[in-house]
Structure 1
Amino acid sequence: MSKTLLYGATKIDETNSAYAPIESLAAFQWKNRVFVLFADRDNARAARQENQLLADRSALDERDMVVLKVSGGKVRALFGAADGLDGEVIRRDLDAPETGEFAAFLVGKDGTVKLKVSEPITNGELFAIIDSMPMRAAETLKSDK
């Protein structure tokens, strides 16, 4: 399984597109973390990822998540609200693989890509990555008070 974790950068080079906010998802910046999954040709991996994520809606809600599924040029919100998004623009902005290949991306509240996977990720792995982020830690501290 291929995973690229972009979260651990110590120095951010704003000219590096890996750390630039994703323009097509700008409506979510500072409000939501966005998990974008790109459907594979037979939809097997995408369906597995979708079913797994949606099995724990309360955890998604707790982490201010929006889950989007891109099939071809169409975007469907699986969890959370999203309108007027163009799948081809999101695919280009995230530098996702061609139509018909599975990929999933986690975009943080700051609008940058935090994780890219080429195989479905477990909820435990995904939530552990999110929960290790400084912004999420601050949110958890606030809610504990």
Structure 2
Amino acid sequence: MIKSVCFFIFIFAFAMNLNAQDLSKHQWKDRLVLIIAQEKNKKFQQQLTELQKHQQSLKERKLVIYQIIAEKYSTGLAEENWKNSIELFQKYKEEKSDFRVLLIGLDGGEKLDQTKILSAEKLFNTIDSMPMRQAEMRKNK
């Protein structure tokens, strides 16, 4: 009986881990912008609209956008390919606000964190001042 229970716990934990989104796969390849909200509220939509205007600049800076709401998440700016998971929301939600934008650098570290709409200008200035981005810009000249 105990072996059966342990086996089912193991299988359940393994299955949950497969469903979990592991952001570390982006480390040293992509910068991430996490847009986190309880639901697709006004700020959430405004943030998406702000970023959609600058898709080429996002690409140049190796930015991957994660849309994260309470029970699911999606990558990119399109309203498709949602995956059911609460883990990213639970990990990154802001306790005192219903909205959060988080920039994660190539090294996996948090570089910018705010609970109001992030302007593309502020996002790009923050990234462009980073040493790795400076090196990328020199290399691409």
Report if TM-score (shorter chain) is over 0.5: yes
Equivalent residue runs for 1:108-119 within 5 Å: 108-119=105-116
Structure of greater Rg: 2
Q: Could you say which residue in structure 1 is the equivalent of 2:122?
A: 125
- Over residues 29-87 of structure 1, what are the superposed CA-to-partner deviations in whole Å (9 max), with x where a residue is unaligned? 0000000001254610010000000111000000000001001121111249xx89775
Contact in 1 for aligned 2:65/2:76 (Cα 8 Å): yes
Contact in 1 for aligned 2:72/2:82 (Cα 8 Å): no
| Structure 2: runs of 5+ lacking an equivalent | 1-20
Contact in 1 for aligned 2:73/2:84 (Cα 8 Å): yes
Determine which structure has the larger helix proportion and give its number.
2
Q: Could you say which residue in structure 2 is the equivalent of 1:59?
A: 57
Contact in 1 for aligned 2:40/2:69 (Cα 8 Å): no
Kindly tell me: are residues 70 and 109 of structure 1, through their superposed partners in 2, closer, same or farther at Cα, counting changes over 3 Å?
A: same
Kindly tell me: are residues 125 and 113 of structure 1, through their superposed partners in 2, closer, same or farther at Cα, counting changes over 3 Å?
A: same
Kindly tell me: are residues 135 and 86 of structure 1, through their superposed partners in 2, closer, same or farther at Cα, counting changes over 3 Å?
A: farther
Q: Could you say which residue in structure 2 is the equivalent of 1:29?
A: 27
Structure-1-length-normalised TM-score: 0.72
By relative contact order (CA 8 Å, sep 6+), the higher-ranking structure is 1
- Over residues 92-126 of structure 1, what are the superposed CA-to-partner deviations in whole Å (9 max), with x where a residue is unaligned? 443x225x811010000101111111001110011
Q: Could you say which residue in structure 2 is the equivalent of 1:4?
A: none
Structure-2-length-normalised TM-score: 0.74
CA RMSD in angstroms, aligned pairs only: 2.4
Aligned-residue identity in percent: 29
